[in-house]
Amino acid sequence: MPRNILRWKAAMLAVALFPLAVLAEDDPPAPQVTGNGGHMLRFSSTQVTVPQTAQERQAFEQSRDHDCASTDPGKVLAAAAAVLTQQGYASVEIDPEFHLIDARHDETLVSMRREIFRGVAKSRGLPLPAKPDHQSTEAFVAVEAEGHGVKVRTRFRVTVWDSKGDARTSIVSDPQVYRDFYAGIDKRLAGA
């Protein structure tokens, strides 16, 4: 009889601890924080780099690579640069020797009216919560000849700044962003 009681207690313990083990597995990695703006007295800004969850990492890894039918890395590199320029990336730097692109797209997330309102309210000493107000998206593109085609690997990274100067940076893991970019490259290569 004591053996059955021990088995029953072990089973109950396993049932009780299983949800905790599942929760521990799904905990996202801790963000990396650079700088600490202070709590009571604001003396600096805070920059946070948000790591991907396992699901985001998997989505990113499945979306970041694309095989092009072209055998010329130079043409693929030029097509990728043209697509980025078309998507609003103002700064597009191409390294033709290593077949790399480094591009940046800046955008304001709020209207001029809201910026003015927040500026007036802050000048009057009203404490306002931080709200996202502008962001930069960086694109890193590598092109490599591979077999009878060209492989493209891309990473989009977005940094959002709030109205208090704090920043959050994360890698874009939305597959649609990568699909749209690669569709633009394929379209340009087909038309070239």
Q: Per the domain annotation, does 24 fall within a domain? A: no
Does some domain include residue 183?
Answer: yes
Mean pLDDT in runs of 10 for the chain (192 residues)? 56 54 58 64 73 92 93 94 95 94 90 78 76 90 91 95 85 96 95 70
Domain around 102? 29-191
Q: What is the DSSP string of 27-90?
A: PPPPPEEE----SSS--S--EEE-PPPHHHHHHHHHHSEEEES-S-HHHHHHHHHHHHHHTT-S
pLDDT of 18: 53
The answer as to whether 17 is a domain residue is no
Confirm whether 88 is domain-assigned. Answer: yes
Query: How high is the pLDDT of residue 55?
Result: 93
Distance CA 178, CA 175 (A): 5
Query: CB–CB of 130/165 below 8 Å?
Result: no
Q: Which pLDDT score is estimated for 124? A: 78
For residue 77, give the amino acid letter: L
**What is the pLDDT, as a whole number, of residue 28?**
64
Domain presence at residue 11:
no
The answer as to whether 1 is a domain residue is no
Tens digits of residue pLDDT in 121-158? 777 777 777 787 889 999 999 999 988 889 999 999 99
Question: How many distinct structural domains can be found in the chain?
Answer: 1
CA dist 26 and 169 (Å) reads 21
pLDDT of residue 118: 73
- Token representation of residue 30: 């801790």
The pTM for the full model equals 0.75
User: How high is the pLDDT of residue 79?
Assistant: 96
Looking at residue 158, its pLDDT comes to: 95
Domain of residue 52, CATH code: 3.30.530.50
Alpha carbons 175 and 168: distance in angstroms, whole number: 20
In a domain, 108, yes or no: yes
Structural domain contains residue 21: no
